[in-house]
Structure 1
């Protein structure tokens, strides 16, 4: 069991299973078809860590988000239709566009995506697909 503390973007207490990518998460490519079909699967063929895996409702562990200016809107829309991750845990800094989408999902749609960034480079070394994670409101993440 390992514990990490990061910066809280949108807080919450949560326990769940994780899905992990060690490369940047392209929000638009991942949800391109998922929003219109309400699919919880990742559709980004260029991300072999996540492609065709369920990301909706999971704790997504990632280094950073990548992609275009639509990323925030895509995250907000994914939350609205119920296919967004339950949490996004960033080893690095969250980008402002993704942060905006996560915050708007919470404010506009009452669909919170718990988001914590700056968990550090060792964080991704300790998580595995299907592993159990506990998240506390203060930004403490415990990997089981």
Structure 2
């Protein structure tokens, strides 16, 4: 039985199941993943001290639920690099319209490194309130998101 369901726009569709990591703050890709990329670690541990929702959390192969991405133009390349390392999220779910840095990073990761990061946006602000970190999330190719 589905406890909660949301519908968004599937920009990079696919079916994935996984554990959610939710932040109500915009996700700064560089600040979050810089330590992982520079140190070439085996897990992607959130390093953004300004975002307590992801700081020191294991983000490897998680489903990230964010309002949108923020940061410098390196954001897209950071996403691509973590995919090159095999540490990319299974999916990125955006409450708002996806920003160009996040979209470009997902497209680069999927095309350059054969990563498969599912990307759904326009899920609405309520997705940030009604999904909690640690919950199981299922993302469907039509942009439907179930929380179990």
The answer to whether the superposition gives a TM-score over 0.5 is yes
Q: TM-score, normalised by structure 1?
A: 0.96
Q: Which runs of 5+ in 1 are unaligned?
A: none
DSSP-derived class of the 1:56 partner:
coil
Question: Which shows bigger deviation, 34-43 or 58-67?
Answer: 34-43
Residue 141 of structure 2 is aligned to residue 107 of structure 1: no
Name stretches of at least 5 consecutive residues in structure 2 with no aligned partner.
none
Of 52, 58, 68 in structure 2, the residue corresponding to residue 54 of structure 1 is: 58
Q: Which contiguous aligned blocks of 4+ residues in structure 1 show a shift greater than 3 angstroms? A: none
- Residue 96 of structure 1 is matched in structure 2 by 100
| Aligned-pair CA distance for 1:3 | 1.0
* CA shift for structure 1 position 25: 0.2
What residue is the counterpart of 1:10 in the other structure?
Answer: 12
SS at 1:32 equivalent: helix
Which stretch has the larger CA shift, 35-44 or 133-142? 35-44
| 85, 90, 101: which one aligns with 1:86 | 90
CA RMSD, 1 decimal: 0.9
Q: In 1, are the aligned partners of 2:88 and 2:115 still within 8 Å (CA)?
A: no
- 1:118 paired residue number: 122
1:8 match: secondary structure: strand
Counterpart Cα distance in 1 of 2:97 and 2:56: 26
Paired positions, count: 144
What is the CA-CA distance between 1:60 and the residue it aligns to?
Answer: 0.6
**CA-to-aligned-CA distance 1:23-53 (integer Å, 9 cap, x gap):** 1100000011111323310011110111000
